[in-house]
Amino acid sequence: MSLYRFMIALIILVFCLAPGIHVQAAEDGKRYKLKIATLAPEGSSWMKRFHEASRAIEKRSGGRLKLKIYAGGIMGDEPDVIRKIRIGQLQGAAVTGIGLGMIQPAVRVLDLPFLFKTYEELDYIRETLNAEFEKKFEERGYVLLGWVDVGWIHVFSNQPVTTKEELLSTKLWAWVDDPLAHSMFKEVGVKGIPLSLPAVLPHLQTGLINAAYGSPLSTLALQWYTKVKYMSDLPITMANAAVVVSKKFFDALPEDLQMILKEEGKTMERLLVGQMRRDNVESLKVLKKHGLKVTKTQPEFMQEMERAAYAVWDQLAGTLYSPELLAHIQELLEARRASLTEPPTP
């Protein structure tokens, strides 16, 4: 056998014995597109950070992984988005507790009214239980890339809401498909008007509803402030959000792209959480400049809302989340609060 033929045979033999070589080479050059949807409008802090993350991912991956972001609800409300992920039309989403709860109901425990008193408490619980929630999402076929805040939720209305009677007299929006909100409404005695989130502004304009709940930032970004005059000073809950992707899509990525996606997700979480909190403060200032008045909640009404909230905690234990998970979070919060109030050891 000539030297030439010998070398050809040797090369063929090597590739036959090591098929992973050419497969890996093909995978390394394969391009992936991650299509993500969100209700956040273009121009918002959410979208600015998303575009930054998109550019970083594309650059770090050498163009092998690109993001296509559908903003402003053009893919529908959050239930629509989750359904589109399930059928493969989308691969990911940035959603609030409504969308997250459709994937993994247990996460709604973090949205319980009056559960957290400060941002620090929320950060502590999310950090402490992050691995547990990541596992819960993976069990449902999703990868949790990072947490985001919506902000403290208040009632915005066309009339002052300082008492239970005033709340009951409003035509208050209720986010459709939100079991937590509907349970709270029922306990308080409010007959909410169920609508998708994109339908809120048109119905405020027509007068079908005259009150809605949201953060100062969302009320400003979604243009609700143009149709409301008052904000209750009572922060009912700290609304959570997160970025998730289909585990099927994630598992199909090469390991280096998985790492890039996870790292950029955590970077976006770190930057966006702080940005959203600052934006909510600034948004309230802007709303006040536009004439919004902040009303003071009467003590009796505050006590009634807290009573209703604690009843809802127990009602939803065993349906959305386990009693054990709720009890664990309460224990963690009690211990945390006690540690922060104890005097320093001499």
pLDDT in tens, 244-284: 999 999 999 999 999 999 999 999 999 999 999 999 999 99
Given this model, what pLDDT does residue 26 score? 38
Specify if 8 maps to a domain.
no
Query: Which residues of 180-323 form beta strands (DSSP E)?
Result: 193-195, 211-214, 230-232, 237-246, 293-295
Mean pLDDT of 182-206: 97
Confidence bin at 29 (pLDDT 50/70/90) = confident
Residue 22 lies in a domain: no
Beta-strand relationship, 173-175 and 193-195:
parallel
Q: 154: domain range?
A: 32-341
How far, CA to CA in Å, does 307 sit from each of 56, 114, 162, 248, 325?
47, 10, 16, 42, 21
Q: According to the model, what pLDDT value does residue 341 have?
A: 77
21 lies in some domain: no
Percent of the chain whose predicted confidence (pLDDT) is above 90: 89
**pLDDT in the model for residue 31:** 97
CA–CA distance, 173 with 192 (Å, rounded to integer): 5
Q: Is 90 a domain residue?
A: yes
Mean residue pLDDT of the chain comes to 92
pLDDT tens, position by position, 320-339 = 999 999 999 999 999 999 99
Distance CA 333, CA 201 (A): 37
Flag whether 13 is in a domain.
Answer: no
How high is the pLDDT of residue 2?
53
Does any domain span residue 264?
Answer: yes
pLDDT band at 14 (very low <50, low <70, confident <90, very high): very low
CA dihedral (105, 107, 111, 117) positive or negative: positive
pLDDT above 70 (res 23): no
Q: What proportion of the chain, given as a percentage, has pLDDT over 70?
A: 90
- pLDDT value, residue 191: 94
Specify if 44 maps to a domain: yes
Residue-wise pLDDT tens digits, 282-310: 999 999 999 999 999 999 999 999 999 99
- At 118-165, the pLDDT tens digits run 999 999 999 999 999 999 999 999 999 999 999 999 999 999 999 999
26 lies in some domain: no
Is the pLDDT at 21 greater than 50, yes or no?
no
The number of residues in the chain equals 346
The pLDDT value recorded for residue 340 is 86
Tell me, what's the pLDDT at 11?
Answer: 43
Residue 114 has pLDDT above 50, yes or no: yes
CA 85 to each of CA 57, 146, 266, 345: distance values in angstroms, whole numbers, following the listed order:
21, 18, 21, 53
pLDDT in tens, 74-99: 999 999 999 999 999 999 999 999 99
Q: Work out how many domains the chain is built from and give that number.
A: 1
Least confident of 9-18, 179-188, 272-281: 9-18
Distance CA 84, CA 86 (A): 5
Q: Which pLDDT score is estimated for 10?
A: 39
Cα–Cα distance measured from residue 89 to residue 34, given in angstroms and rounded to the nearest whole number: 10
CATH of the domain at 225: 3.40.190.170
Radius of gyration for the alpha carbons in the chain, expressed in angstroms and rounded: 24
Residue 210 is predicted with a pLDDT of 98
